[in-house]
């Protein structure tokens, strides 16, 4: 059995995004983010924390969540960030939900859409409203293991390294251009839960950086 605390490199991610991603602060323009989350919201909070620490020049205008039980809403309240529940079960078609999301994001003045554990398939209604300005985080080294249960897929395949990816969102699920990745070694005794916990530590590192990087690449952030 590997004792992970005694092998520091096992906990050291390999960043594939350039370090200059934090230079987004130098842009001087505050990014206006709208975050979509369905669950615990730890990535939402990691972004809020990076902003609070002055690492990311941005503000979260609104959190939209689709599940009344989402812990993300509690985190938003803690940070004093407005949150709006748009329960997908109240909409007959995906497009109707996306239309309401777009209206809410615009109402709160968001310019970027950040999918932080958003468990709904998006439609052209959302993508066309924020061209190249929708980012998603996925718990695998894309293009491997897109879709649901990415970590179980990785463990079943017997991969020796796993990780996470931030990418721009396109119509195909988990497929848009990659902005940042972090690599996480798979340990012999990993379960989906233990591996996910270590991947999440790296998600919280790369997501704010990837937002900064996307802004740097944009003509008009």
Closest by CA position to 111, among listed 47, 66, 60? 60
Handedness of CA 146, 147, 153, 154 (dihedral sign): positive
Whether residue 138 lies in the annotated active site: yes
Q: Whose Cβ is closer to ligand GRF: residue 62's or residue 137's?
A: 137
Q: Whose Cβ is closer to ligand GRF: residue 138's or residue 209's?
A: 138
Q: Does 203 bind ligand GRF (CB under 6 A)?
A: yes
What is the pairing mode between strands 134-138 and 112-115?
A: parallel
Cα separation, 149 vs 143, whole angstroms: 14
Inter-residue contact 116 to 210 (CB < 8 Å): no
CB of 121 to ligand GRF, least distance (A): 13
Sequence-ordered list of residues with C-beta below 8 angstroms from that of 28, at least 6 positions apart, any chain:
57
Which tokens go with 91? 């909409």
Q: Which residue is nearest to ligand GRF (CB)?
A: 117
Q: Does 200 bind ligand GRF (CB under 6 A)?
A: yes
Per-position x/- string for 6-45, each x denoting binding to ligand GRF as judged by CB under 6 A, each - no binding: -------------------------------x-xxxxx--
Q: Which of residues 104-143 bind ligand GRF (CB under 6 A)?
A: 116-117, 137-139
Cα separation, 145 vs 187, whole angstroms: 18
Choose, from 88, 138, 167, 204, the residue flagged as catalytic. Answer: 138
Per-position x/- string for 39-78, each x denoting binding to ligand GRF as judged by CB under 6 A, each - no binding: xxxxx-----------------------------------
Coil/strand/helix, residue 140: coil
* Site residues (vs ligand GRF, CB under 6 A): 37, 39-43, 116-117, 137-139, 164, 200, 203
């Amino acid at each position: 059995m590997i004792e992970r605390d005694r092998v520091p490199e096992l906990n050291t991610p390999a960043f594939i995004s350039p370090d200059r991603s934090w230079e987004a602060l130098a842009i001087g323009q505050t990014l206006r983010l709208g975050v979509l989350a369905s669950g615990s919201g730890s990535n939402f909070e990691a972004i809020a924390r990076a902003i609070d620490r002055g690492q990311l020049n941005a503000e979260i205008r609104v959190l939209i969540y689709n599940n009344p039980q989402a812990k993300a809403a509690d985190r938003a309240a803690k940070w004093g960030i407005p949150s709006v529940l748009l329960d997908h079960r109240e909409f007959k078609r995906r497009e109707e939900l996306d239309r309401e999301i777009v209206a809410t994001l615009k109402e709160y003045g968001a310019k970027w859409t950040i999918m932080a554990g958003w468990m709904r398939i998006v439609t052209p209604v959302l993508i066309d409203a924020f061209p190249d300005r929708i980012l998603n985080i996925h718990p695998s080294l894309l293009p491997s293991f897109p879709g649901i249960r990415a970590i179980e897929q990785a463990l079943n395949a017997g991969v020796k390294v796993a990780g996470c990816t931030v990418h721009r969102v396109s119509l195909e699920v988990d497929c848009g251009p990659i902005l940042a990745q972090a690599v996480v070694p798979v340990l012999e005794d990993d379960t989906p839960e233990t591996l996910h916990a270590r991947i999440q530590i790296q998600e919280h590192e790369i997501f704010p950086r990837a937002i900064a990087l996307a802004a740097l690449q944009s003509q008009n952030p």
